[in-house]
A and B are shown apart, each in its own frame.
Chain A
Amino acid sequence: MNLEGKQQIWKDYQKDIADDRYYYARSCIRQTFFPGSEWAYLDILGNKLGKTVFDDPRHTTCTGIGYHSDVVPVETIMTVVARHFALMTEAGFENITPSCITSFGIYTEILHTWEQHPEWEEKTRDFLWKATKREFKKPKNLAHTSDVIYKFRNEIAAQKKYSLTDVHTGQPLRVVDHIGCHYAKMFPSKGIGGAEFPAVLSGMVNAWGGESIDYPERRHCCGFGFRNYLVMANRGFSVANSKKKFESMQPYEPDFIVTNCPGCAMFLDKWQYTISEMEGTTYGPNGYGIPVLTYEEMAALVLGYDPWEIGLQMHQVSVDPLLEKMGISYDPEAKYKNIRGENIGRPQCPTYLKV
């Protein structure tokens, strides 16, 4: 594969990302399954990079999962998003940074629709006023939180405690990325690197010493498909799509998967367990799985955060072999303890998947 060809495409898709003062929009899925990632993001931005991020307690879901499950109408989600714009405006911020890819896609889509159909923006302003007596300005800058980390990847590299390298061999870690579908597939110009060869995650991987590995099904959806996972009867769709990706990436022997979408991170982690229970198949070496990291976790590991403080014990696929490879000093005994150092039991072991 010709890297120069990709670099040309990356040059064609650059986007403006504000360099400070972000209004943070939390993610329902990320905070439930990767709470440590959201904390790490805010801590890195605030304490390592000296940026101002406003974490607003009044912020709610954007209702995006309801919208893409077709139980929340478009008028409603537009007004909920408009309320977030109003909260941002009232707090004196102009740059909004959703943590969720579904939200990012929805914010992008709504701003696009308002541009194409200004009457919809007017209608939304009326709805918001009627419902909350609030008014809003549209954000000057909309970026996904992975865009922000991408923007500061070199600043993070300058402070790194660990590299994405195998300390035993000195070789770069082989990293496959998975970009959430709603990051750039709907609006390619809104994603770093565009829709076909997005550079938002591979740029971080390269900056932190790893090697980004392409694989044939890289662009394919993880299989969330909203109703296709949320309804139990449909989950075969979801697992089948993830399986297709695992089979495609396995021959490249990746050291880990990194994603920028909270849902994808969860599915790519959990479905490896499900597939192992269903068929006895595992995708990592020696019966282990392929660890899955959020980009916040990847950044936090590089910066030397404690793995359990950022929630790596919450992953079903064990990340311990990866920590060993990177030469990270950590306390394996502390993995399943609470904040006071007390034992709180430990997860049972899967039938086939080694942890």
Chain B
Amino acid sequence: MSVIDSLKKDIHYIESLNSCMNCGVCTAICPAAEFYNYDPRIIADTVQRQDEESLEALLKSDTIWYCGECMSCKTRCPRGNTPGGIIMALRRASQEQGWFTESEKGRQQFALKRVLGTNILNYGYCITPDIVKPEMHPEQGLVWEWIYEHRDDVYERTHANYRHSGAGTLRKVDDDSLNELRQIFEVTGGSEFMEKIETYSLRKAEENGLDPESYFLQTYMANNGTHGEEKSNR
């Protein structure tokens, strides 16, 4: 199936792209456009041109991974488009095809899959205190270091039900609920999708002669420092 045909089946694409008149209101307020060499208007325009070669190049590039999905673009577009939603469709297609491993920012999906996938399926939360390790999160600051070290005490003081069953903040999600969550991932294709990310990524790791753990750290930490630089616009 061509890229454009697969996009046209994606609910995000269907909901996000009518037609673009290149007015630039999205780019004007896009947090990513200001920080990276990134232009959501050009994303919408490239996609509406439906040129397979350009689309393939886009799916293999860093470009589609800059957006922060804040969806500020949706508020403004005078044609009712959502460039951030187009990005969600492009990212899915890139991962389905395995093309995300062709770019530095795309390869980061491995780190995200490992971290979030593990949290969601093992703990029932996207984020839990245990995984916000101060050495991986220096920006969290010195208070967080103190909290992390004394987390049982600090959470108890603030009425949390940390690590315990029952209701309340930070409760342990019970096994039945976790099993239902995992079952939902199985039935809806969520597990299969994550498995694809894992498989393509490990293939790339092998190509580069890296063990999975080193590859994980590389995808989590590598930044070639060129993402804000001028490239050709298309």
* Contact among B75, B142, B173 for A347, CB-based, below 8 A: B142
CB-contacts of A19-64 with B (<8 A): 26, 28-29, 31-32, 35-36, 38-39, 55-61, 63-64
- CB contact list, B15-39 vs A, under 8 A: 15, 29, 31-32, 34-36
A38-B169, A345-B146 known; A232 vs B116 contact (CB < 8 Å) = no
Kindly provide the distance from the CB of B61 to the nearest chain A CB, expressed in whole angstroms. Answer: 15
Report chain B residues within 8 Å CB of A64.
Answer: 126
| Given A127-B187, A185-B75: A61 in contact with B125 (beta carbons within 8 A) | yes
Which residues in chain B, 46-84, are within 8 Å of chain A measured between CB atoms? 65-72, 74-75, 82
Closest chain A residue to B224, Cβ basis: A233
A116 within 8 Å of B (CB atoms): yes
Kindly list chain A residues whose C-beta atoms are within 8 Å of the C-beta of B65. 227
Q: A57-B165, A311-B158 are in contact. Are A185 and B72 (CB under 8 A)?
A: yes
Q: Which of B34, B108, B221 is most buried by chain A, counting CB atoms within 10 A of its CB?
A: B108
Q: Which chain A residues numbered 88 to 112 have a C-beta less than 8 Å away from chain B?
A: 105
**Which residue in B72, B167, B194, B197 is a CB contact (below 8 Å) of A181?**
B72
A29 CB, min distance to chain B CBs, angstroms: 6
- A: which residues have CB within 8 A of B? 26, 28-29, 31-32, 35-36, 38-39, 55-61, 63-66, 68-76, 78-80, 83, 105, 113, 116-117, 120, 127-128, 130-132, 181-182, 185-186, 188, 195-196, 219-221, 223-228, 230-237, 239-241, 244, 270-271, 273-274, 308-311, 313-316, 336-339, 344-350
Beta-carbon contact of B11 and A221 below 8 Å? no
A36 in contact with B68 (CB, 8 Å): no
Q: Which residues of B contact A315 (CB under 8 A)?
A: 143
Q: Does any Cβ of A come within 8 Å of B41's Cβ?
A: no
| Chain B, interface residues (CB within 8 Å), range | 35 or more
A70 touches B95 (CB 8 A): yes
Sample (18) of A-B pairs whose CB atoms are under 8 Å apart: A32-B125, A59-B177, A60-B125, A75-B190, A76-B185, A117-B14, A181-B70, A185-B72, A186-B74, A227-B108, A230-B115, A234-B108, A237-B31, A270-B144, A273-B142, A344-B150, A345-B149, A348-B142
